[in-house]
Amino acid sequence: MRIGIIGLGDMGKLYAKAFANAGYTVCGCDMPLNRERLENELDQLGIILMDDGKDVSRVSDLIIYSVEADKLEQVVGMYGSSTKYGAIVAGQTSVKHPEIAIFEKYLPADAQIITFHAMHGPGFEPKGQKLILINHRSEADAYQRMLDLFTALETDIVEIPDYHEHDKIVADTQAVTHVGFESMGTAWKSAGFFPWENASYIGGIDNVKILTTLRIFSYKAHVYAGLAILNPYARQQVKRYAESESELFKLMIKEEEQEFRNRLYRARDFVFHESRKPIMFNDSIMNEFSLARDAGHQKPNSHLSILSMVDAWYHLGVNPYDNLICQTPPFRLRLGIAEYLFKNEELLEESIETALYDKTIRGDDLEFHSAVREWSAIIGYGDMEGYKKHFNEVQSFFAGRLEEGNKQSAELIRRLMMG
């Protein structure tokens, strides 16, 4: 099977190399200005660079579009008609609703559409990583070839029969997960401090929060913008997260303890009842990973971001453990720290007491509340450019620590996944 990749950015290039290393014939194309650099990098692996997507489409048995979600229609519109007779076509976007609609609009009727979603960033090799395979329209032997292909890469394949189901799960595991951490980053930027220099953000859960936030801001804005804005299920889930956060924040301000506590325990019993297989994060590992040099004595934290997430899962009727089939490292970290907080009654009570009565953290919670509102509004309006601008401003605030945060978070993920 000859594999053609249209778009040799970070992910396209990663998979081109993986396929070539597995013994497949690979060709690809990218923008002319990147040609020389890519030739120097890919020639030695036998990957053939072509002039454009028409050339790639004519000769490839599998054509993978690996371009930004908001450019996909333009690119498929240019090259789709050149698809080799009976070829398989796939996309690497994280939201499949618009991708499938574009493929159906521009591809020949004989093209077989079997798409996939790699649940990892370009910092990880495909081997051992989760990969979602979605059969939209194909013959049985074509689907088998795709299964064989990703088996050869030693990916952890999860088959999902329908792209609607995929997008629902991804709204939870990616779009809402990212908004939670992006809101933390925005809140810290607005408050004007780095969390590792603040006594309220020392210790296991906060180490995970900080490193995951830095990890997200070390990648490109367009990836997250596409996930949140192009996924029809993401908007309603982000809206619910914002509503949960706002309702809890009002109860905190009014110090309505009984209702606040009842609400959180109801959510706890729904999400974390004992039949679920726990993730069980290791406390000593979480405490090891800190960017703090000396932030002084640890203070209690309300963990409003986590309380809001669990409340939102309850109101959405979502079982996050079911969604681990499409897990990303940030989602697993997020569910892991939520489980850690809610299954430790002493820690949960400390969080509730702090949220209701500790005025020293209230200012930070107000910043978080404002940040969630901002992100929710941008996503609700479908404002792709506003999303990128908002993201890039926070990214530049943390610029000095993103590389270190990304490295440490990768090691934290590795250690926690090993148990």
> If DSSP codes are grouped into helix, strand and coil, which group holds residue 358?
coil
Asked whether residue 251 falls in the same domain as residue 169, the answer is yes
The domain of 33 spans 2-161
Asked whether residue 190 falls in the same domain as residue 149, the answer is no
Global confidence as pTM: 0.84
The DSSP letter of residue 257 is: H
Lowest mean pLDDT segment, chosen from 10-19, 127-136, 166-175: 166-175
Asked whether residue 129 falls in the same domain as residue 196, the answer is no
Chain-centre distance for alpha carbon 318: 17
Asked whether residue 179 falls in the same domain as residue 62, the answer is no
Is 59:85 a contact under the CB 8 Å cutoff? no
pLDDT in tens, 186-221: 999 999 999 998 888 888 899 999 999 999 999 889
Asked whether residue 247 falls in the same domain as residue 344, the answer is yes
Asked whether residue 107 falls in the same domain as residue 174, the answer is no
Boundary-marking domain end, from 108, 129, 161: 161
User: Quick one: which of 83, 115, 79, 122 has its CA closest to 97?
Assistant: 115
Is 84:54 a contact under the CB 8 Å cutoff? no
pLDDT in tens, 24-76: 999 999 999 999 999 999 999 999 999 999 999 999 999 999 998 889 999 99
Asked whether residue 101 falls in the same domain as residue 193, the answer is no
46: CATH: 3.40.50.720
Is 347:341 a contact under the CB 8 Å cutoff? yes
Boundary-marking domain end, from 161, 186, 217: 161
Asked whether residue 76 falls in the same domain as residue 178, the answer is no
Domain count, the chain: 2
Please enumerate in sequence order all residues whose Cβ is within 8 A of that of 40, keeping only pairs 6 or more positions apart, or say none: none
Asked whether residue 149 falls in the same domain as residue 184, the answer is no
Asked whether residue 217 falls in the same domain as residue 93, the answer is no
Which pLDDT score, from 0 to 100, does residue 415 have?
83
Asked whether residue 155 falls in the same domain as residue 243, the answer is no
Boundary-marking domain end, from 161, 180, 199: 161
